Amino acid sequence: MAVPLDEWQKRMERHFSALAERRAVSGFPIFALEHGLDDGDLEEIAKQLRGRLNTGLRLAPHWLLWTIYSAERGYTYEGGEYWQSFEDVTPGWDSRDRYRVTAWFSKFQSTYNGVVPSGPWASHFSIIAWPITHAVLPRYLQQQFARTLYDLRFTLARLTTIEPAVIGRLIASNVYYASTRFEQFLQQEELVGRIVLALLHQDPREGEEPLLPATLDRIVADLEQMRHARGWLREASRVVADRFKGIGRGTAPRTSAGGRDIVERRLQEARPDIRPDLRLRYAGNGRWTLVIDVPNFKSIAALNPGIQQFLRQTRSKLNGDDVRRPASWVLSGNRRAVLKAWPDPSRPLVSFESSNGVVDHLLESECRMSPGPIWLFRIGADGNAREIASRLVRPGYDYILASLDKFEDLQDGMTGCAIECSNICAIRISVPSDVSAAYIQWLRIRNLELARTIRVWPAGLPGRNWDGEGRSEWLTTEKPCFGIAPDHPVDAYRVTLNDDAAVTFSAGEPGGPTFIQLPQLAAGTHRLNVKAHRSAALDALGAPPSHEGYLELRIREPEPWMPGTTSHVGLAVTSDPHDATLDVFWENELDLTVFGPEGHQVTPRVSLEDAKGEEIYSAQVCPPIDLPILPDIWERRFQEFLRQQHAEWRYLEAASGLLAIEGQELGRFVVRFDHDALPVRWVLRHQGEGVALRLVDDTGQKDAKPKCRFFSLETPTKIERLDAGLALAGFDVQSPGGLFVVQHGKFRDVVIVSTGLSGGGLEGLGVQPYYPRIADSPKSIIKNMRILRYWKSARLAGFLANARRSQVVVGLTTRLYGALAGRDWGRAEAALMRGSDRVKGFDHLHSLLDHRGGFPSVLRRDAQSIEGGRKVITDWFAELAARYGVCSDQALCVLAVDIASRPHEVPRLYRDRLPGLLKLIMAKPLLLRGARFVALSHACADNRPVELLPRWE
């Protein structure tokens, strides 16, 4: 006979009360998943709960069982929509009942010291955070979690405390190749630390187990069913377990020292290695490209949560590049860039747009290039030239010498070359075997030294990035080993590490090597001094003193191998934004650049994965492409791919996407894109020929309803309000679809759904939007600018969604310019977009400019030739407008260029100042028409298809 729910409720109350009493000493919180029930018990309870739900009986008497039931749904959650999966297995569940779940978990927390969701993700997704947190480690995250523990096993083994928050912060700061959902999970640092302790800390004392043994056994058993996960977990446990046994348990004692004191102490223990590497890559025809590799700043992020947050939220910039890198770029997996200007040696190579005391100090001291004014690069066998910081040149080798000044009195074997950077001169040097006195003097004048003949090299495991002259990179898990060999008599070598105690080694015969091995070293930069003591025979001959030199060892933590990135030394791939979402990528808004040797080709491939990580789509984007690939080339190729593949619904089903750049012998580079799930969002489902749309609200704001609005494809500026209750329940989208907007607090989601035909024949493939006249008032113009931003920024879904959106955007934009610059100007722009004769279209626009003073003629003659991005073009336009008496107000000129190039962003950029500025600029139609003429000239340059807006960002 089945046990009734009332009895199950009492059993679970007794179970969790006893568990809370045992945990009282350690303070470890309790998870709802720690129920100790077997599969049969869970199925019986679930069956009775669903039966009670369907008969309309009260749910509150069995709140604890519903809490367990919800946690179980969180454990089996596959990463898609939690409430959708919950309702699929719980017939009769009303979406409005989700607020009860929060109340049940809150009661569990207060009654039994249950775990509390934490971190930014938990605050944004305040409802589903409870069941997913109490699921401990949902199955869909288990494989990534096991891989992360394996990747960071050596770092974990070196911890001096097992405080959960410290462990969780270390994991979050150093994780590689994580999906968006896994990164969100890791934001709960205390929770993550407790899970790590439970999985790896195998011998807890009574009452101090972070997790019920039965629950831990269940998670481990599920992990061991997954491919590779069993091996990863066992190896991580083997490396970490012995170390954990010798560390104090529980929460580490708090000291009175402040956070800054702790940071300074950590900085003294090991200076983070954040000095970028500069190298030259041959581009053909005597030209070289300057490439910078920026180390991962995760070692700095691990110093404290404040610094981690600063690095995640602050944009950065490279010395020698005007591009602002997105927030968290220095923590990403792709930190290589091509510099177009030679860096200023007086400034750090990386800077941030806002200040942080600790970070600024590290940048000033640790993130600089060599001071110059001359820089030496040795050309390696792979064709790349690496900087030689010791400034030593050796006979028989080739070098690139870079200088801020021109080189004079070139010697034999020296020829001019070019580095594709501004403000730098360069020559190539082939050092002869027999070096003349004049040659040596030439080197000395430039602070270069001809190498002595004591050779030092990495032995055994080769030091990474060995420059041949004393600089190499090693891992914290390795014991660096070096060989030393002189070609003249030497008695001994005196070796000093970091200016500590010296050790003396006897030297062998001339030409014979002496090997020295160092112990494992802490992460950071170490200096090894080697001094050769000459023999008595050389003293008798009055020979010059023996050479003393140093080796610089850059020690770092092991950086895990990432699938698909076995080797990409021959490829320099950059993507902007570096952390682009799947929506940005699939809508072709990603700027992709691939550099590599001339004459080589790469093949791009795309794949999509569902929430379980299973591939649901894969295709080759195009035939092999010649290097280099610039953003405009990639945009055209990927646009052709999107038109031909018709994979819209596969994209909607995907949780992540991968772009693989395959270069055969050059290596393979993979870029990952994830869907960013918002706390309030639209969820689509393809049903036959139609589309169902449903609103999901995980904000937990029970007293406030989300605001839902709809703009039809046929009336794209008319606002229609949607009932939030109807949206939460879901509905079918009527043909031809439109724009759906939901706003709840600071969260907003916008999606364009295109479905069905708008009419008969070929015309039914498109739409015929109707636009009411836009009034010549700032209020009306600002309203339509905001609507335009909705249409431009929305996600796309369905049949011909991109083409139909383009129709709407072109129509609304040209009408906006008509309201701002005159109806005749708006009609002329619309004619340019429709027509095939571009020259005729520009002639018409040119005729509409006021020709007094020659302002229009200069615009037509010079507009396309002005390069350098938005700021350069704006400054040129403002200077021209002032010179010809069109406008001397710099602020109005900037606004004119902004309206002409990005009207949808103007309300956000100018906010409360905009109404007054619009009144002023509408009184100067020539200023705005001139700015639009410049913008259109750039948008239509190089025989590209006619576009309305330039790409200056």
Say whether both 952 and 838 belong to one domain.
Answer: yes
Grade residue 300 by pLDDT with cuts at 50, 70 and 90.
confident
Show the beta-strand stretches assigned E in 404-547: 414-419, 425-430, 449-450, 454-458, 471-475, 481-486, 490-497, 502-506, 514-517, 524-534
Cα within 13 Å of Cα(185), Cβ side: 27
- Highest mean predicted confidence (pLDDT) among 122-126, 169-173, 369-373, 500-504: 369-373
- In angstroms, the CA 117 to CA 106 distance is 10
**Which pLDDT value is given to residue 479?**
87
Say whether both 128 and 144 belong to one domain.
Answer: no
Contact at 8 Å (CB) between 198 and 209? yes
Which DSSP letter does residue 206 get? T
- In angstroms, the CA 606 to CA 585 distance is 11
Grade residue 489 by pLDDT with cuts at 50, 70 and 90.
low
Does residue 329 lie in a domain region? yes
Which DSSP letter does residue 704 get? S
Does residue 723 lie in a domain region? no
Which residues are registered as beta bridge partners of 336? 293
**Which pLDDT value is given to residue 563?**
45
DSSP string, 713-727: SSSTT--EEE-HHHH
Q: Check pLDDT > 80 for residue 688.
A: no
- In angstroms, the CA 754 to CA 680 distance is 21
Q: Is the dihedral of CA 589, 595, 600, 606 positive or negative?
A: negative
Look at 393-402, 430-439, 705-714, 739-748 and tell me which has the smallest mean pLDDT: 430-439
pLDDT digits (tens, 9 = 90+) for 92-117: 888 777 888 999 999 999 999 999 98
- Nearest 5 degrees, angle CA 151-CA 155-CA 157? 110
Does residue 257 lie in a domain region? no
Which residues are registered as beta bridge partners of 317? 324, 351
Q: Which amino acid is residue 929, in one-letter code?
A: R
- In angstroms, the CA 845 to CA 829 distance is 7
pTM > 0.75: yes or no: no
Which DSSP letter does residue 464 get? B
Say whether both 224 and 143 belong to one domain.
Answer: yes
Contact at 8 Å (CB) between 538 and 457? no
Contact at 8 Å (CB) between 628 and 620? no
Which residues are registered as beta bridge partners of 555? 474, 524
Structure tokens at 79: 């990463």
Say whether both 297 and 350 belong to one domain.
Answer: yes
Structure tokens at 849: 């400019």
Q: Which amino acid is residue 424, in one-letter code?
A: I
- In angstroms, the CA 353 to CA 373 distance is 27
- Nearest 5 degrees, angle CA 554-CA 555-CA 558? 130
Which DSSP letter does residue 679 get? S
User: Which structural domain range is residue 159 located in?
Assistant: 139-245
Grade residue 619 by pLDDT with cuts at 50, 70 and 90.
very high
- Nearest 5 degrees, angle CA 227-CA 230-CA 232? 95
Average pLDDT over residues 538-561: 61
Say whether both 31 and 147 belong to one domain.
Answer: no
Q: Which helix (H) or strand (E) holds 747?
A: strand 747-754
Structure tokens at 598: 């001339």
- In angstroms, the CA 380 to CA 466 distance is 10
Say whether both 66 and 145 belong to one domain.
Answer: no
Contact residues for 655 (Cβ-Cβ < 8 A; gap 6+): 79, 80, 179, 181, 609, 610, 611, 674, 675
Cα 442 versus chain centre, distance: 46
Q: Which amino acid is residue 315, in one-letter code?
A: R
Closest CA to 817 of 863, 856, 855, 848: 848
Cα within 13 Å of Cα(950), Cβ side: 28
- In angstroms, the CA 386 to CA 291 distance is 10
- In angstroms, the CA 191 to CA 892 distance is 53
Secondary structure (3-state) at 110 = helix
Q: Check pLDDT > 50 for residue 268.
A: no
Q: Which helix (H) or strand (E) holds 572?
A: strand 572-576
The mean of the pLDDT values for the chain is 83
Structure tokens at 631: 């953003």
Q: Which helix (H) or strand (E) holds 257?
A: none
Q: Which helix (H) or strand (E) holds 658?
A: strand 656-662
Cα within 13 Å of Cα(467), Cβ side: 25
**Which pLDDT value is given to residue 560?**
57
Residue after which a domain boundary falls, among 339, 369, 399? 369
Grade residue 534 by pLDDT with cuts at 50, 70 and 90.
low
Closest CA to 916 of 935, 889, 934: 889
Rg (CA), the chain: 33
- In angstroms, the CA 446 to CA 372 distance is 10
Average pLDDT over residues 930-944: 85
Average pLDDT over residues 717-739: 92
- The more confident residue out of 698 and 652 is 698
Does residue 321 lie in a domain region? yes
Which DSSP letter does residue 30 get? B
Q: Check pLDDT > 80 for residue 485.
A: no
pLDDT digits (tens, 9 = 90+) for 579-595: 788 888 888 888 888 88
Average pLDDT over residues 632-646: 84
Q: What percent of the chain has pLDDT over 90?
A: 34
Grade residue 383 by pLDDT with cuts at 50, 70 and 90.
confident
Look at 326-340, 532-546, 600-614 and tell me which has the smallest mean pLDDT: 532-546
Average pLDDT over residues 843-859: 87
Residue after which a domain boundary falls, among 133, 157, 172? 133
Closest CA to 791 of 903, 656, 680: 903
- In angstroms, the CA 879 to CA 882 distance is 5
Average pLDDT over residues 397-425: 92
Q: Check pLDDT > 60 for residue 622.
A: yes
Does residue 26 lie in a domain region? yes
Cα 330 versus chain centre, distance: 8
Contact at 8 Å (CB) between 338 and 291? yes
Does residue 241 lie in a domain region? yes
Helices (H) and strands (E) in the chain, counts: 34, 36
What's the Cα-to-Cα distance from 777 to each of 608, 774, 904, 905, rounded to whole Å?
46, 8, 17, 18
* Number of domains making up the chain: 5
pLDDT digits (tens, 9 = 90+) for 202-222: 544 444 677 888 998 888 888
- Nearest 5 degrees, angle CA 43-CA 48-CA 50? 95
**Which pLDDT value is given to residue 728?**
87
Average pLDDT over residues 811-826: 94
pLDDT digits (tens, 9 = 90+) for 761-795: 556 677 889 999 999 899 999 999 999 999 999 98
Q: Check pLDDT > 60 for residue 74.
A: yes
How many other C-beta atoms lie within 10 A of the C-beta of residue 250? 17
Tell me, what CATH number does 660's domain have? 2.60.40
Look at 35-39, 284-288, 872-876 and tell me which has the smallest mean pLDDT: 284-288
Say whether both 125 and 143 belong to one domain.
Answer: no
Q: Check pLDDT > 50 for residue 87.
A: yes
Q: Check pLDDT > 90 for residue 376.
A: yes
**Which pLDDT value is given to residue 519?**
87
Q: Check pLDDT > 70 for residue 155.
A: yes
- Nearest 5 degrees, angle CA 70-CA 71-CA 76? 100
Contact at 8 Å (CB) between 794 and 805? yes
Average pLDDT over residues 691-702: 82
DSSP string, 223-246: HHTSTTHHHHHHHHHHHHHHHHHT
Say whether both 202 and 146 belong to one domain.
Answer: yes
- The more confident residue out of 905 and 571 is 905
pLDDT digits (tens, 9 = 90+) for 792-804: 999 888 878 888 9
Contact at 8 Å (CB) between 745 and 699? yes
What's the Cα-to-Cα distance from 314 to each of 174, 318, 325, 351, rounded to whole Å?
18, 13, 9, 10
Contact residues for 702 (Cβ-Cβ < 8 A; gap 6+): 99
Say whether both 105 and 16 belong to one domain.
Answer: yes
**Which pLDDT value is given to residue 92?**
86
Does residue 16 lie in a domain region? yes
Say whether both 49 and 109 belong to one domain.
Answer: yes
- Nearest 5 degrees, angle CA 161-CA 162-CA 167? 105
Contact at 8 Å (CB) between 232 and 146? yes
Contact residues for 383 (Cβ-Cβ < 8 A; gap 6+): 281, 282, 597
pLDDT digits (tens, 9 = 90+) for 238-264: 877 655 554 444 433 333 344 445 444
Contact at 8 Å (CB) between 157 and 196? no
Which DSSP letter does residue 825 get? H
- In angstroms, the CA 340 to CA 354 distance is 24
Grade residue 156 by pLDDT with cuts at 50, 70 and 90.
confident
Which residues are registered as beta bridge partners of 556? 475
Say whether both 934 and 895 belong to one domain.
Answer: yes
- In angstroms, the CA 935 to CA 875 distance is 14
Residue after which a domain boundary falls, among 369, 399, 415? 369
Does residue 926 lie in a domain region? yes
Contact residues for 454 (Cβ-Cβ < 8 A; gap 6+): 484, 485, 486, 487, 490, 532, 546, 547, 549
Cα 750 versus chain centre, distance: 23
- Highest mean predicted confidence (pLDDT) among 611-615, 628-632, 898-902: 898-902
pLDDT digits (tens, 9 = 90+) for 168-192: 888 887 776 677 678 778 887 887 8
Look at 163-167, 262-266, 506-510, 515-519 and tell me which has the smallest mean pLDDT: 262-266
Say whether both 921 and 883 belong to one domain.
Answer: yes
Cα within 13 Å of Cα(92), Cβ side: 11
How many other C-beta atoms lie within 10 A of the C-beta of residue 938? 21
pLDDT digits (tens, 9 = 90+) for 898-933: 999 999 999 999 999 999 999 999 999 999 999 999
Q: Check pLDDT > 80 for residue 148.
A: yes
